[in-house]
Structure 1
């Protein structure tokens, strides 16, 4: 599986330890991104903050992997897509989405989008809406983590602008046809649905056995 790595000797307890180390770091950087956008500090304060950020970046750069994080699997079968821009707990640009899979087959997520996701003033960028729905439908289409389905087509209908703030999204498979799964879902705020999506998700050649 390209980009998928099984890490031998890494157990669930190790995953929790790593999570407790790196998840708070991403949360702090996520807060830093928001503060950077909305700060009205004076030039001297901005310069001092930049020096501190550059120093912290250098410390983190001192030991790092080559290339992207990919998806890692532990010896216990835990899946670690921690660099993912939608759900990655180590990725500060991820909200991050927490995906809930219901017995009915529906998947859902409740999340918050702030200043970092703004397109039109006070509204979520349309590309972010698409990313959320693409990821959510991809999750429901790939019910087996060893046999993921990737987006073949995705159609978004923007019914109205999506305001920044607390949001909800959900989706489900509508039918399957061989290597293809068809899924549909929507994104909503407290007043109702803001965008709908339909997609076709395809099992890649390397996962067809």
Structure 2
């Protein structure tokens, strides 16, 4: 198994970002208002017609298969579709990962009604998604090293309320091809979920040295 990346220049990345980011933001808004709307049947049908027209416009040109890009300046993968940080994925919060000099990382973001489990609270699976991603980020040195989740365990300390949240992660230790990471999901009062995971360098990357 091997992963190959096509490079994308900083200029091209910014061009695509400025074009598609507002579209993704609009789709997030659409998800939110779709959850809350109480308009009448006629208005629902009118909105549906507009959405079908918009879908037809966007379907005029579609990518064949999946393309994997790497930012030419930073070396990081370009995560268009990632459900945690994807620039073009409307189900991503999105998380913007900040890297600290000591290798730890964090992100502050808001989870709204699209991520609700029990009324007013974040779905536990979304908490797991957020923590799995940020632990993977820190274990892979900001996605610069291939490391994949081997195991991850979570301890739900209390409910995580919808609204502004913070995720943090750091590496505890490394043993051969395994990296052990720990992280937390926090609200304004402290940790709501803690996680620990083991991330493994795949065999093809070990063979590559």
Look up the match of 1:25: 23
1:6 is matched with 6
User: Gaps (5+ residues) in structure 1?
Assistant: none
CA gap of 1:163–1:4, structure 2 versus 1, over 3 A, is farther
Unaligned runs of 5+ in 2: none
Structure 1 residue 71 displacement after superposition:
3.4
Structure 1 residue 106: Cα displacement: 1.6
Residue 71 of structure 1 corresponds to 68
- The equivalent position to 2:13 in structure 1, one of 12, 15, 20, is 15
Q: What are the Cα deviations for residues 76-96 of structure 1, in whole angstroms up to 9, with x where unaligned?
A: 445311110000010000000
**RMSD, matched Cα:** 1.5
1:5 deviates by: 2.7
Matched-pair contact (CA < 8 Å) for 2:153–2:195? yes
Q: Is the alpha carbon distance of 1:31 and 1:150 closer, same or farther for their aligned partners in structure 2, counting shifts above 3 Å?
A: same
TM-score normalised by length of structure 1: 0.93
Distance, in Å, in 2 between the alignment partners of 1:104 and 1:75 is: 24
Report the count of equivalent residues. Answer: 206
> Counterpart of 1:39?
37
Aligned partners of 1:27, 1:59: CA distance in 2, in Å? Answer: 17
Give per-residue Cα distances to partners, 1:67-118, cap 9 Å, x unaligned: 34x5311444453111100000100000000000111222100000000000
CA distance in 2, matches of 1:78, 1:154: 23
Q: CA deviation at 1:59?
A: 0.8
Give yes or no for contact 1:86–1:135 (8 Å, CA) kept in 2.
yes
Which residue among 172, 175, 197 is the counterpart of 2:173? Answer: 175
So what's the TM-score if we normalise by structure 2?
A: 0.93
> 2:94 maps to what in 1?
96
**Runs of 4+, deviation exceeding 3 Å:** 1-4, 74-78
Q: Could you tell me how far apart the structure 2 residues matched to 1:71 and 1:192 are? A: 37
Q: Which residue of 1 aligns with 2:161?
A: 163
Range with greater deviation from structure 2 (170-179 or 144-153): 144-153
SS of the equivalent of 1:188 reads: strand
